[in-house]
Structure 1
Amino acid sequence: MSVRNLQYLFDPHSVAVIGASDRPHSVGATVFRNLLAGSFRGPVYAVNPRHRTVAGRQAYPDVAALPAAPELAVICTPAPTVPGIIAALAARGTRAAIIISAGLGAASGTPGVTWLQAALDAARPKLLRILGPNCIGLIVPAIGLNASFAHTNALSGRTAFVSQSGALVTGVLDWAKSRGIGFSRFISLGEGADVDFGDVLDYLAGDPLTQSILLYIEDVRHARKFMSAARAAGRSKPTVVLKAGRVAEGARAAASHSGALAGSDAVYETAFRRAGMLRVMSTEELFDATETLAHARRGHGERLAILTNGGGPGVMATDELICGGGTLATLSTDTLARLDALLPPSWPRANPIDIIGDAPPERYRDALQVVLEAPEVDAVLMIHCPTAIVSSAEIARAVVPLTRNTSKNVFGCWLGGDALADARRMWASARLPAYDTPEDAIDAFLQIVRYRHNQQLLMQVPPAAPAGQQPEPGVARALVRAALASGRQMLTEPESKALLAAYGIPVVDTRSVETVAGAVEAAHAIGFPVALKILSPDVTHKTDVGGVELDLPDAAAVQAAAHAMAGRLAHFKPGARLLGYTVQAMARRPDALELLAGTATDPVFGPVIVFGQGGIAVDITADRALALPPLDMVLAHDLLRRTRVSRLLGGYRNRPAVDTEAVSAVLIRLSHLVTDIPEVLELDINPLLADHNGVIALDARVRVAPAPPGAEPYSRLAIRPYPQELERTVTWQGQPLTIRPVRPEDAPAHVAFFNRLTPEDVRLRMFVRLRELSPAQLARFTQIDYDREMAFIATRVGPDGEPETLGVSRAVADPDNVKAEFAVTIRSDLKGQGLGTLLMQVLVDYCRDKGIRELVGEALAENVAILRLAARLGFHKTQLPGEEIVSMCLNLQGPGVARPAVPA
């Protein structure tokens, strides 16, 4: 369930309060009073069986007695009464309810059923949506709706706030009101038993009242749903999240360094980043983000100019900027010359631009004008320290008009107290972000920079992954299942390396033996020198028991090392089983870095990819970053950059740069492995040696467990991977053609495809004239959420040996998977040859199999080709008199609907 009936929750035309009361300070009295005090224009009903009137309004004894079914009901009665009320509301026709009441987790009269479950069961048959329970309620200032028991109302604005914490809701309300910041919707989720973050994000992504979104999150329960909704919202609207519980709440003993990260806050951080959200770390930062989102423009660069009338605050701002990873704009010769002409000779001729403490309003105005016109400056922080010489209000009055005619962000820091009240008021009236200290202003600027980075990650076109060995999932599955069949959770080192080799990850030659004599024989076969390691299912880290010897030069050294290892194992871990030894070739790579690459399984978001510095000190350095699969080259490179060891990958002194393409390829192959093999829970490659010649895995550790019976493919993944099973080869015009889902790597071919469309075909497809695709449009067309949308392309190898896209059919489903909107485009020189019919047949078949009920679309009435195609496929067409648009609809699940024939 997702956005179904949420319009009745967030935009109701009538409201009933169940449990409305006159009892002072009661929840029912507060909610009813708040509703009446607002400017809500629809009927507001009071339901109370013990009173004929409440707050001077007629009261009704129960839901059945109401004169009409309320679109929204607010329930303020004890927990045991809630299921019956929900059932009565559902029967009456109400489709949304807010359960303010707490305590619904207690057992009801039915064994094994809580009051909450009973309420959900009563709501489900009629799709009655429930916000809560145990929540503050909901405020929608634009329609005057205050269906909450908050102590104050919210001002109207363009930012939505969604919180799991009721206490934070009231705190944000107070703070925002004091700053004049308004909200489009103020939502307290409470326990989120039905309507959760995924539902609300889906709704807000398409909400015309909302321009930006703030979230306070304590936990996420449905990772796939959350990620799909968050990625959709994050692409279109700035979304800021404060996540509580940064301590590693999921910390536990793990069989690998990667596995120790499962359940950690770092995984949430990774998910937010992947969704294009901005994460803040404190309530104060959330408040600052509220100020920034309410007033700032979207940033288009990272170079900041600091304009100040005091040297000290300018230096403080610079320190904060540089320490936070920001960029101080370098002023050009032309900008310096223009500033020289209007500033005192003593100004420092550098950024920060100190215009001196006696600066009159005109100096502020003229200097700011120069800086705003400087092409090397992307944003400006103006700092003002009050003086007895110049009125702060006059300065604000002089500079505010300049900010209206620029696309650049101008941040204000009015450093002081009451003397600056008028200036701050003028600044706020101009909807400019203002902060109390230089550090706060810089942090706000850096929030925009971090948000921009996350958005760029969503829009970057990934290059194709380096060619390499094709994965052999069948070999990998056989290895894993054999280990599970023998009752083991840990693969042996040779098994682990064989698993990696099946996915094209280079591994050092390793052989397992049972005896000392076998170790000597294996060493001769490999060639000296060799490394020798114990083989024991009871030892996780071999070095802890002295179970590793390197650079053994001959047979005698191997024999002596094996006997010594056996003795150390018996001493350090009595009772541990010694199954034998592994012998491996020594990897002679003196310039190589020791890296860690692996996978872990998070209890919420499923598999994650881990990368960082490796070696025996891996736990001490704690240099690791995470990413959610699936990965492409852009995401893999980003994962590398987020570690400290990445600074060494580029080479230093006389060490050549590491082959980062090879490192990234390992991460992508690990992504494929963990996607294909659900039994793999933890995997470590440590060390992964990397240098300018490539990579090689020296040691690997893998923990496995049986996959849950009956689980759907990829159900454990937070983001659905590329559905390779949908690829097919067909014959078209006597030649083989591949029909497959679009991939991010198809972006260059998609640009070439667009360029082969005539302007008229572009107009008919997009309803507007468009000369080229913007980066955002290109990303939107090729980087799709396979869980909610599908785009099939027809592709073949072109004359230049590169793949070329000939046509595309696309369907975007609503979050409830009920209705999907389709589009189909064929390269202009290939129209009329049956390719559109072929692509549409594949799309219709896919949508039907996915359970979508209706496939709908719109076309200009003059677009005869698509209308004829739709008619052949059985679409029903509707055109309103006088309208240029024709609506098309195909019923996919009704009786007698035939399945289209798809060419083999």
Structure 2
Amino acid sequence: MSVRNLRQLFAPGSVALVGATERPGSVGATMLRNLREGGFKGQVYPVNPKYDSIGGLRAWPDVASLPAAPELAIICTPPQTVPGIVRALGELGTRAAIVMSAGVATGRDARGRSLKQAMLDAANPYLLRILGANSAGLLAPGIGLNASIAAGGATPGRIAFVSESGALMTGVLDWARTRGIGFSSFVSLGESADVDFGDVLDYLASDGGTSAILLHIESLRYARKFMSAARAAARSKPTLVLKAGRSLEAAAAGACLSGVLATPDDVYDAAIRRAGMLRVYTTEQLFAAVETLARAKPLYGERLAILGNGAGPVVLALDALQYGGGHPAVLQDETVRKLRDMVPEWRGDGPLNLRGDAPPERYHDVIEVLLQDPGANAVLMIHAPNAVVDPADVARAVAPLAKNSSRNVLGCWLGVQSVLEARTIAAEAGMPAYRTPEDAVNGFLQIVHYRESQNLLMQVPASVGDGEPDREKARRLVREALAKGRYMLADPDTKAILEAYGIPVVPTRAAATPEEAVRAAGEIGYPVAVKILSPDVAQKSDVGGVTLDLDSAEAVLAAAERMRRRLAELRPNARLEGFIVQAMARNPEAHELIAGAATDPVFGPVILFGQGGLAVEAAGDHAVALPPLNTVLARELVARTRVARLLEGYRNHPKADMDAIEAVLVQVSRLVADVPEIVELDINPLLADSRGAVVLDARMRIAMADRSGSTLDRLAIRPYPAELEEVLPWAEGTVLLRPIRPEDGPAHVAFFNALTPDDVRYRMFVRVRELQPAQLARFTQIDYDREMAFVAIRPGPDGHDETLGVGRVVADPDNISAEFAVTVRSDLKGKGLGRMLMDKLIAYCRARGTREIVGEALPQNAPVIGLVKKLGFTVGPLDEDEGVRKFWLNLR
């Protein structure tokens, strides 16, 4: 990831336009006109050897002749010229360029080299950043910069819009101007040869002029880079995604059902959800959502109270709420009594119809009562204009409630001209305003979905089971199969690998002949099921290859012989490798589920869960998630399926053991992370009831892993780096230094509570009484790809691990500088823990290639200042403005 020199791209002080011209209709002429008419105050240098002046500005024959290095260059010349121009700009000192030229990606230079690669090679020695090629440009309305082909520019605002499509850029800008929507920046990535979504997200996440980020995505190449940047951006400001091309994406092809069911759009949806972003499906929804979220207050529940001055609109709103999966408010008896006094016609449940002649005071009084009821998490007020009541008076009555309440009050003002003043009053009070009841409900549901994704980032998962999986056994079994040229593993082999990860399986044996099947049945115990074992038959029941409830040796022998004859008749070319013998799993109340894994070409391994059995494809009930999973993420994956409602229990069917189902999903996630040769995995059915979950049938596809890089590079999110764990001797025995995990939340709270107020102030520079959920999540749920926190732990008196100290380091996106902090439990100072954690952080940063490690401390924090001096840090003087002393260590 890199934000190097992106400041020159987004906020340049000067611009050179290479390819400027006066030829009407040309890109060069359009760009020059937009640069001059946009209000840009910096120097503009037209470059074209055919002109002495262009549009009243002096023209320069080439880049080398420019009087100064422009901070940004715009290149709109033939593709063959681009690499040479980029090299000349780099030599001059320019550090950012927008390449508008098309054909760079497909063209070749005289040496047969790709023009795209030649361009990147020319830019690399100078760290010159390239937007494009084939970009439609960039707008920064705050500084009057219209470095794009879009006519008319953009209104300044606090929304950043990033798109791959130049055509969408011009259309959206025109659409936004008519609605008064402003932008902090508007970016067309083009072909993303250098600057891509990840880079731009990293820059915008820390841009103080941007309060929300909108992405229009057609495709991605670097999943891990995108996920790290997206997760960081979504934590700091609303980040919304419009994913294009859903109907063009083919379903995944695979030998296992998981590979077929996990479509590309399912995977993108999982990635967007995992990053804490909100997905929308139309451009209108995109801007409606950002307007809603920009005004939204924290939402602590999902129940919406609806009121209005007519039956039709409030019923439409209720329908939209229920069909959208939302929940109406559930009011307390005292609230119902008060409201019936105000609205006698109301029956006591459902939306409130205040009638068309309802005065502004009635709106105010009803909303005031609703806002006091814990069963109404938000309120939607609908007003249809009429000749009796002035909509502006209604807005004036409810605006103070919306402004001062801790809950969301949404307004729907039906009509256009007659409600303009009411909309303005509502907007000034921070009250989201909508044109239709359906739009208003969708706005509320967007708040719900966005908060759900954000809350998911703040939950602390429970640990899963006891002990570690037998990774080496699983890897050995896979290697042995590959050595024999076996790439599809049938049920017995797959179950042996699953058992190594502690996943419960039905006792299963493989048998080469009917006679061996009889012996296997005797070892397992009757009754048993017998199935054919053939690499050429995906669905055994299609050829009568399954017989259940066999309770004797004679029955097993007869069934095996019968299945062998039937296979020869129906599939004469199918190979019969033998038979599978299983213990019968007798439980008519068990749910048939599917759990599995597939490999997406962009995001790598994904985990799938849903309704299983023979009708799995017809049911179409499944959800996808990115590994690694923990219990919270596994629970969320299950909750996104329809079968989840059945698992909660119904009639005389008890609730399924959700912990057992989640444990299977977590272990499947660990398995695909640990064993890169696993391409696909089907567990179908996974039988689940109130007593647990057990694998009935399973199959797996494996392949030789790509060893060119880390085996973890194929994962979109880096899993827990167990290789960094280290046990060290300590003054009080031994201590384990390891990366922090989300499951460390309770121990981290206990650690924080054991700190003295001064130690907390030394760490946070302010006095903090307790950790808030968002802080705890931020401390324990880290992105291992760009930051690290090591905890020093030992077993506590209660048998659970206790945290003794924490060392944390966060590198910039370019991995040039990393900022650290170390905190030791107040009663354990002076025993060497701080030095151990610092040594661990320094070694980690050196191994990553970080150039320097930096920190700061209050001047009263003498122990830390003394420690870093001993470690060779340079300690600066007191910074009078910030009240801290800064220190740094060159790691090279």
State the distance in 1 between where 2:71 and 2:293 align: 32
Moved more, 422-431 or 806-815: 422-431
When residues 753 and 549 of structure 1 are mapped into structure 2, their CA distance, relative to the original with a 3 A threshold, is same
Paired amino acid for 1:753: F
When residues 445 and 734 of structure 1 are mapped into structure 2, their CA distance, relative to the original with a 3 A threshold, is closer
Paired amino acid for 1:559: L
Instruction: Tell me what 1:359 maps to.
Output: 358
Q: Secondary structure, in 3 states, of the residue corresponding to 1:739?
A: strand
Q: Indicate which of 836, 839, 846 corresponds to 1:838.
A: 836
State the distance in 1 between where 2:428 and 2:797 align: 60
Q: Is the 8 A contact 2:238 2:293 kept in 1?
A: yes
Instruction: Tell me what 2:241 maps to.
Output: 241
Q: Secondary structure, in 3 states, of the residue corresponding to 2:389?
A: coil
State the distance in 2 between where 1:186 and 1:606 align: 30
Moved more, 472-481 or 447-456: 472-481
| 1:648 Cα offset (Å) | 1.5
Number of aligned residue pairs: 891
Q: Indicate which of 545, 548, 569 corresponds to 1:547.
A: 545
Report whether the alignment pairs 1:41 with 2:41. Answer: yes
| 1:816 Cα offset (Å) | 1.4
Instruction: Tell me what 1:124 maps to.
Output: 124
Counterparts in 2 of 1:151-190, with a 5 A limit?
Answer: 151-190=151-190
Instruction: Tell me what 2:21 maps to.
Output: 21
Q: Indicate which of 604, 622, 631 corresponds to 2:602.
A: 604
Instruction: Tell me what 2:589 maps to.
Output: 591
State the distance in 1 between where 2:77 and 2:294 align: 36
Paired amino acid for 1:814: D
State the distance in 2 between where 1:520 and 1:228 align: 54
Counterparts in 2 of 1:457-476, with a 5 A limit?
Answer: 457-467=456-466, 470-476=468-474
Moved more, 38-47 or 122-131: 38-47
Q: Secondary structure, in 3 states, of the residue corresponding to 1:345?
A: coil
State the distance in 1 between where 2:94 and 2:139 align: 19
State the distance in 2 between where 1:302 and 1:263 align: 30
Counterparts in 2 of 1:704-853, with a 5 A limit?
Answer: 704-853=702-851
Counterparts in 2 of 1:379-398, with a 5 A limit?
Answer: 379-398=378-397
Q: Is the 8 A contact 2:262 2:608 kept in 1?
A: no
Q: Is the 8 A contact 2:403 2:431 kept in 1?
A: no
| 1:27 Cα offset (Å) | 1.7
Report whether the alignment pairs 1:561 with 2:559. Answer: yes
State the distance in 2 between where 1:372 and 1:219 align: 44
Deviations along 1:828-880, one digit per CA (max 9) or x if unpaired, are: 01111111001110111011011111101111111111100110111111125
Q: Is the 8 A contact 1:412 1:433 kept in 2?
A: yes
| 1:330 Cα offset (Å) | 2.5
Q: Is the 8 A contact 2:262 2:624 kept in 1?
A: no
Instruction: Tell me what 2:202 maps to.
Output: 202
State the distance in 1 between where 2:136 and 2:750 align: 53
State the distance in 1 between where 2:290 and 2:630 align: 33
Paired amino acid for 1:156: P
| 1:57 Cα offset (Å) | 1.5
| % identity of equivalent residues | 61
Instruction: Tell me what 1:901 maps to.
Output: none
Instruction: Tell me what 1:900 maps to.
Output: none
Q: Is the 8 A contact 1:528 1:553 kept in 2?
A: yes
Q: Secondary structure, in 3 states, of the residue corresponding to 2:645?
A: helix
Paired amino acid for 1:387: N
Q: Secondary structure, in 3 states, of the residue corresponding to 1:459?
A: coil
Q: Indicate which of 679, 687, 690 corresponds to 2:688.
A: 690
Counterparts in 2 of 1:289-688, with a 5 A limit?
Answer: 289-340=289-340, 343=342, 345-467=344-466, 470-688=468-686
When residues 112 and 154 of structure 1 are mapped into structure 2, their CA distance, relative to the original with a 3 A threshold, is same
Moved more, 259-268 or 834-843: 259-268
State the distance in 1 between where 2:618 and 2:413 align: 44
Deviations along 1:471-501, one digit per CA (max 9) or x if unpaired, are: 1111111211111111121013211111111
Instruction: Tell me what 1:902 maps to.
Output: none
Q: Is the 8 A contact 1:158 1:294 kept in 2?
A: no
Report whether the alignment pairs 1:223 with 2:208. Answer: no
Moved more, 370-379 or 791-800: 370-379
Q: Is the 8 A contact 1:304 1:379 kept in 2?
A: yes
State the distance in 2 between where 1:797 and 1:390 align: 70
State the distance in 1 between where 2:281 and 2:166 align: 19
Deviations along 1:437-480, one digit per CA (max 9) or x if unpaired, are: 1101111110110010011111001111122x531111111211
Q: Is the 8 A contact 2:105 2:133 kept in 1?
A: no
Q: Secondary structure, in 3 states, of the residue corresponding to 2:517?
A: helix
Deviations along 1:783-810, one digit per CA (max 9) or x if unpaired, are: 1111111111100011121110000100
Paired amino acid for 1:611: F
When residues 350 and 699 of structure 1 are mapped into structure 2, their CA distance, relative to the original with a 3 A threshold, is closer
Q: Is the 8 A contact 1:594 1:614 kept in 2?
A: yes
Q: Secondary structure, in 3 states, of the residue corresponding to 2:256?
A: coil
Moved more, 153-162 or 445-454: 153-162
When residues 350 and 672 of structure 1 are mapped into structure 2, their CA distance, relative to the original with a 3 A threshold, is same
Paired amino acid for 1:714: L
State the distance in 2 between where 1:185 and 1:256 align: 44
When residues 346 and 539 of structure 1 are mapped into structure 2, their CA distance, relative to the original with a 3 A threshold, is closer
Q: Is the 8 A contact 2:512 2:579 kept in 1?
A: yes
| 1:529 Cα offset (Å) | 1.4
Q: Secondary structure, in 3 states, of the residue corresponding to 1:74?
A: strand
When residues 639 and 248 of structure 1 are mapped into structure 2, their CA distance, relative to the original with a 3 A threshold, is farther
When residues 393 and 252 of structure 1 are mapped into structure 2, their CA distance, relative to the original with a 3 A threshold, is closer
When residues 434 and 628 of structure 1 are mapped into structure 2, their CA distance, relative to the original with a 3 A threshold, is same
| 1:380 Cα offset (Å) | 2.2
State the distance in 1 between where 2:11 and 2:731 align: 53
Instruction: Tell me what 1:96 maps to.
Output: 96
5+ long unaligned stretches in structure 1:
894-904
Deviations along 1:202-261, one digit per CA (max 9) or x if unpaired, are: 111111111111111001110010111111111111111011122372424421111113
Q: Is the 8 A contact 1:247 1:264 kept in 2?
A: no
Deviations along 1:368-426, one digit per CA (max 9) or x if unpaired, are: 44444544433222211111222223333443344332333332222123333333344
When residues 504 and 360 of structure 1 are mapped into structure 2, their CA distance, relative to the original with a 3 A threshold, is same
Deviations along 1:299-333, one digit per CA (max 9) or x if unpaired, are: 44422222311111001001101111112222334
After TM superposition, the score normalised by the length of structure 1 is 0.96
Q: Is the 8 A contact 2:261 2:617 kept in 1?
A: no
Q: Is the 8 A contact 2:238 2:290 kept in 1?
A: no
Moved more, 768-777 or 260-269: 260-269
5+ long unaligned stretches in structure 2:
none
Q: Is the 8 A contact 2:159 2:212 kept in 1?
A: yes
| 1:594 Cα offset (Å) | 1.1
After TM superposition, the score normalised by the length of structure 2 is 0.97
When residues 261 and 470 of structure 1 are mapped into structure 2, their CA distance, relative to the original with a 3 A threshold, is same
State the distance in 2 between where 1:147 and 1:348 align: 60
| 1:700 Cα offset (Å) | 0.7
| 1:626 Cα offset (Å) | 1.1
CA RMSD between the two structures: 1.8
Report whether the alignment pairs 1:260 with 2:270. Answer: no
Paired amino acid for 1:13: G
Instruction: Tell me what 1:872 maps to.
Output: 870
State the distance in 1 between where 2:499 and 2:667 align: 10
